[in-house]
Structure 1
Amino acid sequence: MQEELNDLTQTLFNLYLKNLEFLEKKHPNTYKKVQKLSKDIEEQNHKEKYTLEYIKEGGYFDIFDHTKDKFLYDFNSYEEADKRAELTNFTKENSLDLLRIDPRNKKLAIMQSLGVVATLANYINHKVDFTNVTFSKIYKFIFIGVGAGVHLNEVYKKINSMNTLIIEPELELFRLTLFTTDYTVFEQGNKKLFLSVCETPIQREKTIEEFTHHHNYMNYNIKHHLFWIDYKYILDELISYYSTNHPASFPFGVVLKVLYRTIRFMKDKEKFIKKQLIKDTLPLKNKKVLIISAGPSVDNHLEWIKKYQDRFVIVCVDVILRKLEKNSIVPDIVVSIDPSPECGKFLTTDDKNFLKNSAIIFLSQQEESVLKKVEHLNYYFSQVYPVCEELGYSFSLPNVGTFSFAMSVFLKANELYLVGNDAAFNQETGDRYASDSSHEMSDIVEEKHKVDDNIVSDYDILEVKGNLREKIKSNRTLLTFKRDYELFIHGLDEETKKTLKAYNLSDGAFMEGLIPLDIKDIDLQTLEKKDFNVKEILDNISCTVENIDFEDDAKVLSGIITKVNKFKKTKISSRDDFLQKKLDIMIWILQQKKHMSNAMFANVFLKYIELVDIYVNFFLNLKQNQLYTQKNLSEVKKYWCDSTILVLKDLKVIINQE
């Protein structure tokens, strides 16, 4: 018996060493965490919460939780792992359905954002039995919690997913599974493993994002396995993430429109901000910058802002501008990013000259009617996509509040004060926005009645850590603003993080990376009057773009159109034949990217390909009788070719405009 135990101990130790070698090579961040924990345990700087125990009577492993004085399983973990594997199947059960479903007919939703892909989605709706969806293969799988690790390999053996994400918040638990689970199997062949071990929510979202973007064209359904109910909050995080990050969330038609407008503005010699000029002049460095968003806490600080407005460089979002005018607060910079004619209303002040000494920064996606509203004012563009390399940068963010913060940091601000970035209701009235802002009001009680209590909803009222109070109430919709700020701050380079002081004055949700500060505690003695000529400064960091010529790229697109037209006439004999021939043409198309002077056009086209292929791959990965007839496959090929050619022609129109 002792010899058997010795052999078992040696086997476990060998597996542990094998896993460590694997982590060091493939997942160095996780490796460093494990090694540090091991060292801390060895040097008695860390008291273990969990220990791995071998239960001789049943011949299985369990984990003893010393804080609760009980076993994690308290029954045979191997038998339990077999049951978990048996219950795991290839249906849509326990999965995240990333293709939006129309609740009226339970089929694919035909949304405007799909653009030309909508015709393919409509065809699929007429051919697929959506009451009986079973997949031939699972391409993406998420394990939430590792337990003792024994179920990981058992479930994986059955599923054999191409891409696997393992999430475990407890580093100790993950370390123990290195003795019981062979993690190398998850990356055998061309498989890919993603690990989220002992990460903060923001870090975890970054890992989820990497997992999602790897083999994007398989993002129609993601299977998941929840180890225990204690980790349901992680499942809720995944649901929240994929509620806004799904195939139809990429508005392809809007992207094409933005490209068209950006090139139009460049050809019309509009002024664009240039990164190198910012580096040369550091326009906001060592200045006190006050960013005013449209959250409800603005109402509490108006008098203070009005009194001290001459001490701050004031950056505001467009939707709060009219409220500031009513209170005689003149911003230095107004930021507007929405590609909607509504922005024209936001920027229409009662006094036509209210902003004569101010500046407006637009993303290069505004429509013409908005520009006509401000043609008498000082306005500048920031390019959304890297159309012009000379400008040296491009970026966009999901909301104008986060963008105003990002643009201030980009302009080298290192001392920032934020108000109105609440990411929460007014805790007394339930209002989501400041009164008199251009946003419409929405009451928390009304929103609560819109949803079913049994499902995770964007409108569920949640209690989270507050910025200036211990707890505040918000909902998932509003908390996306918090997440957007945190993701941007998390992505900053280390040097910027070290020098940046960003104070959050809002009575809303706490945001990681921002320093909570009550407005009463601001040292007024340090508030000297500003010296800031915004027109002169922005003129110094902007330029007109010369030599916008993409004629050679248009020729490459014409060549791809010819190739796709030939593929359209190709005969298809089977599903595998279709997949192989489509793979061949995609390899050829990818090679054409090398011949384009501006990679942006190729990248936009490839984003479209990812979108259409998600729907194609959903169709081709279903187990249903009579689905893969030669006629059906030929029709899917036709829809793929027709929509691809339309997109290529649209791109040619965009880059050839005079």
Structure 2
Amino acid sequence: MLYKKNLAILKKRYPAYQEILENGTLDDGNITIVETKNGSKTALYQAEGDEYLLHSKYNPEKEAERLVAQLITDGVTAVVVLGFAMGYHLKELYNKVKDKGVKIFVVENNPALFREAIRYNDFTDLFDYQDFYLYLRDDYDSSGLINFIEGHIDIVFEELTLFKLSTAKRYFGQTLALIEKDLEFIIMKVKANKSTSKKRGRVWEENLLNNLYLMLKKPGVRELHGLYSGKPAIVVAAGPSLDKNMHLLKDVKDRAIIIAVDAVVKVLLKNDIVPDIVTVIDGFKSTLKYFDGLDYGRLDQTILLTIPQFYNHILKSWPGPLVFSPGYGVSEGIIHWIEKQRGFLGRLATGGSVAHLAFVLAYLLKADPIVFVGQDLAFTGDITHVKGSDYSLNLEDERKNSNKEYLKIKDIYGDEVWTRSDFHFYLQWFNRLILGIKNRGCQTEFVDATEGGARIEGTKVMTLKEVLNNYCQEKNDKKEEILIRLARYKAEWNPKIKEQFKLIIKNLKVIMEWAEQGLLFVDKLLDCANEKDYQKIVEKLKHINYNIDILKNHVMFFESEMYEIYTEINVDFRTDLEKYTKLVEFYNLLIKGSSKALKILGQHYQKITLKEGV
């Protein structure tokens, strides 16, 4: 029986779906299964006095073949399909991409219809495909879908495309628009991550390697969990409205914790406001201007929460406590290796903005309320940032020198205000996260005391003066408790840490040797005229690439710098010469990256040896 056969394979991966499908109350009276002209089955769906077929009444297989043929999958690593229906298009899609390792995500909001599909068609190959992912539920959960997809993709290097069954828009109903909006958000997020990684990946990974010893010693963000519970946190960004109320922040010392983004620290200090925590999330050269000329003498009690990819010379010279907060999706292999040596650092999920990091830190601290100040996410008064910030421009000058998109949105007063595409994305991230937190029953209050800018959904709009009067009257010593805890922190190292370093150094040297051999064989290929000898050399190159592929997961070097080339050498090129050029570029990058990594790791190894007194 097809149903039992399909279900047996499906429940290996998704045991919870068996309970959904075998629920005796699962029924949809709108569905009628009918036979097509070629003897297959299609579904007749009735809703609101209308009825329609979900697949062709003549030949659903041919229809699916035509639909899938129109889908461009070159360079695509994941296809998100809206609508399982009777599944003909999915069988065809599977046949098209199964040999390419493309991920297939299916979103279906009608379990009763899905049950009918697995009664009439054999999906065992599809369900057994290791890159098949099914999201099946009739009560749509926005956060659930986003987490499900993001949990199974490379959040940096994935190339997603959307494939919508044409009839899905009818039987999905109003839910379809919500799902499409969430999927577009994921695709936009991945594209933004990819763009950032391409521009900054090499710099980030070099910074991370330089910070390796610090990461072995210093605490991770998990150490801060719950340490400011029930007390107010003020998250200060560099929006233009900060000019209106920044002076009031002088009055919150020991009454609220001030978490400031890097871009606003110099402005705060000039106004005699010393933040309790500073957050940094971008390890690129443009960020260094926030630290040039900074009065470090006033920051000995200020915590710096940083990504591991920030500049080592800044982190080493920071006078106050240093805490690492790794992100998701970037250099995870290196970070996981570090954590094997010293323990889990913790993670804070952000949407890519330093203000996001400051906000989720406040939430991790269990602060209540969490107050936004200077978080315009728009060009209030046609100004980009607070006066005195290194990035402050008027909107006209900003648009002259930018290739970003601009749009109008509603501000906190209901009026229209200009914003930028990346600001708008950051706003959407805040809106979604706050909604998700509230839907989970969290009672934390979120207050927007920016006094201008975009309307952040889920926040109570107040003036900063009202916030201080309502929430910041009582003193507390929780900041001092945090400083004491961080001062006492001591990481426990893996007893075999030196052996682990030696193994990585050895593997890097072997990779360099393989890459040097690869260069020699590419030269031989170019001079080879004999087909038999040519094939022998090709096999040797495949062997070299296979060995490199195995070893590259056990070393630490500049993965992002060579990622695209590494993927390209495994596809067909227009000419052999182009392929050879890519191979040469790939091997040279391996040699260069491994050589640099060896030098940096050697320096860290010496520090560890001295630390242990060996």
- Relative to the length of structure 2, the TM-score reads 0.71
User: Are 1:192 and 2:131 matched, yes or no?
Assistant: yes
2:205 to 256, 260, 273: 256
Q: Distance in 1 between matches of 2:428 and 2:230?
A: 27
Structure 2 CA distance for partners of 1:381 and 1:444, relative to 1, 3 Å = same
Question: What's the CA shift for 1:568?
Answer: 4.0
| Cross-structure match for 2:320 | 378
| Cross-structure match for 1:244 | 192
Q: Do the aligned partners of 1:448 and 1:460 also contact (CA within 8 Å) in 2? A: no
Q: Distance in 1 between matches of 2:36 and 2:275?
A: 73
Q: Distance in 1 between matches of 2:142 and 2:536?
A: 43
Q: Which residues of structure 2 form unaligned runs of 5+?
A: 170-175, 327-334, 526-530, 607-614
Question: What's the CA shift for 1:252?
Answer: 3.7
| Cross-structure match for 1:440 | 392
Offset from partner CA, 1:358-414 (integer Å, 9 cap, x none): 343444444366469x66x4252427535363364165753322222344455x435
Q: Distance in 2 between matches of 1:184 and 1:516?
A: 47
| Cross-structure match for 1:26 | 13
Q: Distance in 1 between matches of 2:34 and 2:301?
A: 75
Equivalent residue of 2:304, what SS? Answer: strand
Q: Distance in 2 between matches of 1:583 and 1:502?
A: 58
Q: Distance in 1 between matches of 2:203 and 2:148?
A: 27
Aligned Cα RMSD in Å? 4.9
Offset from partner CA, 1:262-309 (integer Å, 9 cap, x none): 046579xxx722578657xx6434433222223456566546645545
| Cross-structure match for 2:330 | none
2:91 to 142, 145, 153: 153
Structure 2 CA distance for partners of 1:446 and 1:277, relative to 1, 3 Å = closer
Equivalent residue of 1:553, what SS? Answer: helix
1:338 to 275, 282, 285: 282
Q: Do the aligned partners of 2:9 and 2:127 also contact (CA within 8 Å) in 1? A: no
| Cross-structure match for 2:268 | 324
Structure 2 CA distance for partners of 1:577 and 1:288, relative to 1, 3 Å = farther
Q: Do the aligned partners of 1:152 and 1:181 also contact (CA within 8 Å) in 2? A: no
Structure 2 CA distance for partners of 1:578 and 1:468, relative to 1, 3 Å = farther
User: Are 1:273 and 2:219 matched, yes or no?
Assistant: yes
Question: What's the CA shift for 1:254?
Answer: 1.5
Equivalent residue of 2:211, what SS? Answer: helix
User: Are 1:653 and 2:605 matched, yes or no?
Assistant: no
| Cross-structure match for 1:170 | 109
Question: What's the CA shift for 1:482?
Answer: 4.5
- Relative to the length of structure 1, the TM-score reads 0.67
Q: How does 1:202-221 map to 2 (within 5 A)?
A: 202-213=143-154
| Cross-structure match for 2:234 | 290
Q: Distance in 1 between matches of 2:443 and 2:6?
A: 39
| Cross-structure match for 2:172 | none
Question: What's the CA shift for 1:312?
Answer: 0.6
Equivalent residue of 1:284, what SS? Answer: coil
Equivalent residue of 2:506, what SS? Answer: helix
Question: What's the CA shift for 1:650?
Answer: 1.7
Structure 2 CA distance for partners of 1:606 and 1:585, relative to 1, 3 Å = farther
Q: Distance in 2 between matches of 1:152 and 1:643?
A: 39
Equivalent residue of 1:415, what SS? Answer: coil
Q: Distance in 1 between matches of 2:455 and 2:237?
A: 14
1:390 to 323, 342, 347: 342
Question: What's the CA shift for 1:417?
Answer: 0.5
Q: Distance in 1 between matches of 2:194 and 2:58?
A: 36
Q: Do the aligned partners of 2:368 and 2:445 also contact (CA within 8 Å) in 1? A: yes
Structure 2 CA distance for partners of 1:556 and 1:58, relative to 1, 3 Å = closer
Offset from partner CA, 1:204-223 (integer Å, 9 cap, x none): 34444355439x99x6x666
Q: Which residues of structure 1 form unaligned runs of 5+?
A: 1-13, 43-47, 99-137, 452-457, 594-598
Q: Distance in 2 between matches of 1:316 and 1:608?
A: 32
Structure 2 CA distance for partners of 1:69 and 1:206, relative to 1, 3 Å = same
Question: What's the CA shift for 1:425?
Answer: 2.3
Q: Do the aligned partners of 1:423 and 1:482 also contact (CA within 8 Å) in 2? A: no
Offset from partner CA, 1:572-609 (integer Å, 9 cap, x none): 6699978865564455456658xxxxx8x625566666
| Cross-structure match for 2:332 | none
Structure 2 CA distance for partners of 1:565 and 1:187, relative to 1, 3 Å = farther
Q: Distance in 2 between matches of 1:252 and 1:604?
A: 11
| Cross-structure match for 1:116 | none
Question: What's the CA shift for 1:317?
Answer: 1.0
**What amino acid does structure 2 have at the position aligned with 1:192?**
D
